[in-house]
A and B are shown apart, each in its own frame.
Chain A
Amino acid sequence: MFFLHSPTAVVPVTRRQRTNKIWWPIAGFIVSFGIALAVWREGVPFAVADYLSLAVLAGLDSVFGGIRAGVERRFRGDVFLSGFLVNMVLAVLLVYMGAQIGVPDLYLAAVVTLGGRIFLNLSVIRRHSLERHPIRGEK
């Protein structure tokens, strides 16, 4: 815990540090995205493309969830990693099952669920960010 001399100064400094750290994952994402976009121009085989899209969505959900947990100071590495992997596998499995049982729209279940969670996590992160950096005139 970060306790400085003044109790009133403790919270703003600690929260600013945590809030600033969310730029590391974003920067890593942007850099790797740019490099991969320039290097692997062929993409992946078409047979894998269906699953990759859902896996990306599941990964986005996990990453935003991790950021949210980080800024809320309740991050657990094992939960984050297992959530990342399990969500990805589950999303891919839904696509595969949908194709196998003749319900190709089954992937929509994963899209709706993951999309909703992404928006929820983003809103929480945004709220935390606004609390640390309030717009001028707002308390």
Chain B
Amino acid sequence: MAPSEHGWVWQVTALSVLLGVMLALAIQTTNRIKFLGLPSNRFGVSAATLSRYKDQNEKLQGEISELRDRVNEFRLSSTDGNRASDLLRKQLSDYEAILGLAPVKGPGLKITLRHSPVPRLPGTGPAEYLANSDDVNGIISELWAAGAEAVAIGGDGTAPQRFVIATTVQPAGDGVLVNDQVVKAPYQILVIGNPKELRAAVRMPEGIVSLRGLDTLKMIEIKESQHLVLPAFSHGRSAGNTQTKNQ
């Protein structure tokens, strides 16, 4: 029997088996492509179509990235002890402390300014022996310049008045007017900040204490304290005509 009589059957059968496998794989792949909604005309996908898909892909990638960032933010705020709220609360607290809208405590100086107990010398006027609003304003200005963080002014029988941005110290009879409150001597200036730096600022040469001779006249007493407590500004004040620029 010649080899071609039976040999062709097994060779063709073997390749037919292989062909059957290949055809099944091709059909399964095509079904999968259809199932995923991809273009079925695979050979005919033009460059324009491909480019459009690429653009859409990039756009969607951008959206994914943006949404992922937002998810991370929400996750942090929800799992990290409401971090965003805590940060806002801390920021608000700091602003209230700086603006005088909240009571504060800390180290600083307790400065007492009183009328001079020294007998009036000949050739001097009585006003020079009295503590006045200029003395208070001068001292407070030096304290702010030295890095004071919070200031309050009290007096004889008067609770300390928190010094805010709108606070003025004006002469009022035998005392001064602070936050619409009359404060009488001896005045007590409470200031929170670095005690050493604040003391150095008040005692600086050519400063208000030196020029006015407050030490000589024994009108000023400066004490350091580690536990000063300053009240909040207790008077209402609205923005009125003022608005933020972005409003």
Residues of A within 8 A of B (CB): 1, 18, 21, 24-37, 40-44, 46, 49-50, 52-53, 55-56, 59-60, 62-63, 66-67, 69-70, 73-77, 80-81, 84, 95, 98, 102, 104-105, 107
List, in ascending order, chain B residues with CB within 8 A of A69's CB: 8
List, in ascending order, chain A residues with CB within 8 A of B6's CB: 21
With A49-B42, A76-B4 known as contacts, the answer to whether A40 contacts B25 (CB < 8 A) is yes
Q: How far is it, in angstroms, between the C-alpha of A36 and the C-alpha of B25 when the chains are bound? A: 7
Majority SS of interface residues in chain B? helix
Number of B residues, CB within 8 Å of A: 39
What would 14 more interface pairs be, CB under 8 Å, given A24-B13, A32-B19?
A: A24-B9, A25-B13, A25-B15, A29-B17, A29-B20, A32-B16, A33-B20, A36-B23, A41-B28, A42-B28, A50-B42, A56-B22, A63-B19, A75-B8
Give the nearest-CB partner of B36 in chain A: A46
Total of A-B residue pairs, C-beta within 8 Å: 137
Contact B43 A105 (CB under 8 A): yes
Contact B4 A74 (CB under 8 A): yes
From B8, B15, B18, A70 is in contact (CB under 8 Å) with B8
**How would residues 11 to 53 of chain B score, 1 for a CB under 8 Å from any chain A CB and 0 otherwise?**
1111111111111111111111100001000111111000000
Question: Does B236 interact with chain A (Cβ within 8 Å)?
Answer: no
List, in ascending order, chain A residues with CB within 8 A of B18's CB: 32, 59
